[in-house]
Amino acid sequence: MVIGKLTQRTFETDGQKRTVVEIQVQHVGPDLQFATAEVAKSTAEGSPAPAAAAG
């Protein structure tokens, strides 16, 4: 999974027009086709947030 901006640009080289499609990536997520992932939200300091107390 990728979140970002898809851009297309056209340029000319050696008299030939060419088109390129690029992704400007902001976020990348794991592929869950053959794996699992655990999501943990980070605090403002960048360390993982404490787990909720079981109760």
- Please report whether residue 52 resides in a domain: no
Per residue in 9-39, pLDDT tens? Answer: 999 999 999 999 999 999 998 888 888 888 8
Mean pLDDT of 40-54: 68
- Please report whether residue 40 resides in a domain: no
Task: State residue 15's pLDDT score.
Answer: 93
Task: State residue 7's pLDDT score.
Answer: 96
> Of 1, 17, 46, 27, nearest to 9 (Cα)?
17
> CA angle 12-15-21, nearest 5°?
30
Helix, coil or strand: residue 54: coil
51 confidence band (pLDDT: 50, 70, 90): low
Give the residue numbers spanning the domain of 25: 1-31
Task: State residue 13's pLDDT score.
Answer: 92
Q: Judge whether residue 4 has pLDDT over 80.
A: yes
The CA distance from 55 to 49, in Å, is 18
Per the structure, the count of domains in the chain is: 1
